[in-house]
Amino acid sequence: MTTAILEARKLTKSYGDRVVVDHLDLSCRRGTVLGLLGPNGAGKTTTLRMLYGFVPPDEGTIYYDGKRFSEHRENAKRMIGVSTQDDSLDYDFTVAQNLFIYASYFRPRVEDLAGRVAELLDRFDLAPYADASPHVLSGGYVRRLLIARSIVHRPSVLFLDEPTTGLDPSARLDVWELIDGMRAEGLAIVLTTHYMDEAERLSDELLVIHEGRNLVHGEPHHVIDSVLGDHVIIVPRAEPAREAIASWLRARGAEQVATVLGELRVPVSKEDLAALTARFGDAVWQVRPPNLDDLFIALARRNGRSG
Amino acid sequence: MSALGSLTAVVNWRSWAVFRRNAMVFLRNWRTAVIPPAMEPVIFFVAFGVGFGGFIEDLNYRGTMINYATYVAPGLIAYTGFGTPYYEALYSAYVRMFYQKTWDGILATQVELPSVVWGEILWGAVRGMVNISVVSLVIAIFDLLGLVDVKLGFLLVLPFLGFIAGCAFASFALIFTAIVPAIDHMNYPVFLIGWPVSLVSNTFFPIEPQSPALQALMQVNPVYQLAECARGLLVLGHPGSHLLGLVLSTALFLVPCTLLSVRLTRRRVLGD
């Protein structure tokens, strides 16, 4: 296993009395995608802002390539690329000029910048729009340009903050391909997303944050197993024993009994499933493997949010 | 970043990268960006200096008799030198910060926040230089037509004096840019500060307050110092003590306003 190019230890940030990020550890290796997940208000954005250098942590240390960010800030910022969630393109310039002007904010200067811009325009299918204003681009192409811009200076670590929000399914898949390609080239990518399928399919590792703390970290299947267990049962709205099943599961210690559009969704262990089958053999329910959607819903309920 | 670091960021390549970005946009749209705004002081000059001035007797300016148009010409240099960077740093910077999110994109690079602030300050001051140059050209034409009597050679110096003071005006404006909740609230710094300061700084008429407090206030007002410095040069051929006054009053505004702008912008843009 290669060493992490990005590593953060015990990151902590408070605003007033509220601890937003609480002794969070994370790391990301070259050629991997780290999915940063958590419900709204979990502390993802604040974590990212500390990693970009927008805000300093109250406690903890960030390392890029083994060097402290606080002591080697200029070099570290040369190593990172950021694709923000909001559209921060420079609409005073054309598509190609956006890449040129963005590169001018880095030193040492980008070698063979004209060649690099041409390469990115081609690779991100932006060449036909090179001389056009970004205003003419569709949502998917705006996102392509944001990502292309964030790697114009050949960074080693790339932050993608909700890169597919608002895109249609086809555009999402295109962005997935681009992310996969950048990972293959050795970029360390930190990805935040609200799309669980995206996180599950793109991430080599997941870090789930809950109330500013590291809830669970590891490969996607490990994360799901450790939070949710072996199975999820879904009891339809029409099942007469639905409430009885819910009460019975709660009595056995199930904490994550969720109702979605009238359906009961409960993560259960193998043992609970066997006991449930014995107790409610006549009832109708479905069993499926848990996924990140279940995890997200469970965390959101724990956090007192609707979803 | 320390206060010293925030102040010395002016010489940093990052600040000039932000400046360069704004200059590139300006150069693409220079006709629209220069001609209409620069026409305002020109129209004021014609209306007040030449038109209204025809009804006013000559004035005694530090022992030299001058007509009102000659008095008001350097005032319009100060008016332009104040208004251009002030409004540039209020409205244009706000649009870049809030609507276009240009600063968000820039801050995701090696450029740090004090450099964004300095880039805007320097750009506002240079915009002031450009508009002062246009007004100076008009004054030169009026001098050749015999409507004003100024020492033409010093018109070349005025844009540079405008640049110095313009840094103070832009840094002052950026404080409001960082705190106004919405662009409509710019009316406060425009009408409660911009207009009164433009008018009562020896720009259009002389003010000689008796109160020591008001006298002190005038001395620390860079618009007053710029007006008197320009007037001294154009009418008498020397700025008197106002060159030093301009430099000191600029420093008095620029240092605290820049530090405060950085602090408030950090809170607004970075949430810290």
Whether A49 and B102 lie within 8 Å, measured CB to CB: no
Whether B108 and A107 lie within 8 Å, measured CB to CB: no
Do residues A154 and A117 touch, judged by C-beta distance below 8 A?
no
- pLDDT at residue B146 greater than cutoff 90: yes
The shortest CB-CB distance from A90 to any of B13, B102, B107 is to: B102
A-facing residues of B in 94-113 (CB < 8 A) are 100-102, 104-111
pLDDT tens digit sequence for B203-242: 999 998 889 999 999 999 999 999 999 999 999 999 999 9
Say what the pLDDT of residue B143 is.
96
**Residue B150 contacts by C-beta under 8 Å, 6 or more apart in sequence?**
B70, B73, B74, B139, B143, B234, B235
Whether B100 and A82 lie within 8 Å, measured CB to CB: no
Q: What is the mean pLDDT of residues B181-191?
A: 96
- pLDDT at residue B247 greater than cutoff 60: yes
Which of B19, B95, B109, B112 is the best mutation test for A, with the most CBs of A within 10 A? B109
Judging contacts by C-beta atoms under 8 Å, the chain A residues touching residue B17 are: 104-105
Judging contacts by C-beta atoms under 8 Å, the chain A residues touching residue B108 are: 52, 82, 84, 88, 150
pLDDT tens digit sequence for B59-104: 999 999 999 999 999 999 999 999 999 999 999 999 999 999 999 9
Which parts of chain A register pLDDT below 50? 305-307
Say what the pLDDT of residue A2 is.
62
Q: How far is A208 from chain B (nearest CA, A)?
A: 23
- In SS3 terms, chain B reads as CCHHHHHHHHHCHHHHHHHHHHHHHHHHCHHHHHHHHHHHHHHHHHHHHHHHHHHCCCEEECCEEECHHHHHHHHHHHHHHHHHHHHHHHHHHHHHHHHCCHHHHHHCCCCCHHHHHHHHHHHHHHHHHHHHHHHHHHHHHHHHCCCCCCCHHHHHCHHHHHHHHHHHHHHHHHHHHHHCCCHHHHHHHHHHHHHHHHHCCCCCCCCCCCCHHHHHHHHCCHHHHHHHHHHHHHHHCCCCCHHHHHHHHHHHHHHHHHHHHHHHHHHHHHCC
Residues in A whose CB is inside 8 Å of some CB of B read: 49, 52, 54-56, 74, 77-78, 82, 84, 86-93, 101-102, 104-107, 149-150, 153
Whether B14 and A102 lie within 8 Å, measured CB to CB: no
Q: Is B215 on the interface with A (CB under 8 A)?
A: no
What is the pLDDT of chain B when averaged over all its residues? 95
Find, in chain B, the residue whose alpha carbon is nearest to that of A104. Answer: B17
Per-domain boundaries in chain A: 4-224, 230-289
Q: How far is B54 from chain A (nearest CA, A)?
A: 45
Q: Is B2 on the interface with A (CB under 8 A)?
A: no
Which of A87, A99, A105 is the best mutation test for B, with the most CBs of B within 10 A? A105
Say what the pLDDT of residue A307 is.
35
Say what the pLDDT of residue A306 is.
40
Find, in chain A, the residue whose alpha carbon is nearest to that of B16. Answer: A105
CATH class of A4-224: alpha beta
Find, in chain B, the residue whose alpha carbon is nearest to that of A93. Answer: B25
- pLDDT at residue B186 greater than cutoff 60: yes
So what's the ipTM on this one?
0.91
Choose the CATH number for A230-289 among 3.60.40.10, 1.10.4190.10, 2.60.40.1190, 3.30.70.790: 3.30.70.790
Say what the pLDDT of residue A1 is.
52
In this structure, how many other beta carbons lie within 10 angstroms of the beta carbon of residue B57?
9
In this structure, chain A runs to a length of 307
The shortest CB-CB distance from B110 to any of A74, A87, A90 is to: A74
